[in-house]
Amino acid sequence: MELEYFVVPGTDEEIHNSWVQDRLDWWNKQGVPMKSIELYEVPDKELAHYSKRTVDIMYRFPHGIEELEGIANRADFDLGSHSKKQDDLNIKSKVSENKDSNSKLAIQNDDGDWVVPYVIEPSAGVERGFLAILNEAYSIEKLDGGKNRVVLNLKPHLAPVKAAVIPLKKNNENMVKLAKVVKDQLQKLGLGRIIFENTGNIGKSYRKHDEIGTPVCITIDFESLDNESVTIRDRDTMDQSRVSLNELSDFIIKKIKS
Q: How many domains does the chain have?
A: 2
Chosen domain end from 86, 112, 134? 134
The pLDDT score that the predictor gives to residue 137 is: 98
The pLDDT score that the predictor gives to residue 89 is: 79
Claim: this prediction has a pTM higher than 0.85: yes
Shared domain check, 248 and 169:
yes
Is residue 69 within 8 Å of 23, Cβ to Cβ? yes
CATH number at residue 109: 3.30.930.10
The pLDDT score that the predictor gives to residue 118 is: 95
Shared domain check, 75 and 58:
yes
Q: Which residues lie closer than 8 Å to 188 by C-beta, 6 or more apart?
A: none
The pLDDT score that the predictor gives to residue 88 is: 74
Across the chain, where does the E strand assignment appear?
5-7, 37-41, 53-61, 64-73, 107-108, 114-115, 118-124, 138-142, 148-152, 161-167, 193-196, 216-220, 229-234, 240-244
Chosen domain end from 134, 153, 171? 134
pLDDT along the chain (258 residues), means of 10: 93 98 97 97 93 97 96 91 83 82 86 90 95 97 91 97 97 96 97 95 96 98 96 97 97 92
Chosen domain end from 83, 101, 134? 134
For residue 246, the enclosing domain spans 143-257
The pLDDT score that the predictor gives to residue 179 is: 97
Q: Which residues lie closer than 8 Å to 184 by C-beta, 6 or more apart?
A: none
Shared domain check, 97 and 58:
yes
